[in-house]
Amino acid sequence: MMLEVTDGTFEAEILQSEIPALVDFWAPWCSPCKMVGPIIEQLSTEFAGQVKIAKMNVDQAPMTPTRYGIRGIPTVILFKGGQEVDKIVGAVPKNKFVDLIKKHL
């Protein structure tokens, strides 16, 4: 089950996470986001227990993306210990996300 975070739950779910947390910032109207979405779903299964995987709808939660300077979506950010440690902007192949995660495990 994919975790959905909001401006209200972001700090508790992501910044205070005991394990690294990968957040997919997306919107329903974004075509490239539709390509990345299924990849993020797969990663949530493959890295279950190692990395917390979440999605954040930027239309419903505008404050957090603004705080992290997100101008284009999809943007995927990896947080570790409450800090942004890595980022991918745009639709990229699954192996790029896997490499990003493994680099920080």
Q: Please, what are the domains in the chain?
A: 3-103 (3.40.30.10)
- pTM tops 0.85: yes
Residue in the structure block whose two tokens are 């943007």: 75
What percentage of residues in the chain have a pLDDT greater than 70?
A: 99
Cβ atoms of residues 78 and 15 within 8 Å? no
Task: State the average pLDDT for the chain.
Answer: 97
CA gap 40, 54 in Å, rounded: 8
CA gap 22, 32 in Å, rounded: 18
DSSP, res 14: I
pLDDT band at residue 1 using 50, 70 and 90 as cut-offs: low
For 6, how many CA atoms within 13 A lie in the half-sphere containing its CB?
A: 3
Please list the active-site residues.
30, 33
| pLDDT tens, residue by residue, 29-62 | 999 999 999 999 999 999 999 999 999 999 999 9
Q: Which residues contact 45 (CB under 8 A, 6 or more apart)?
A: none
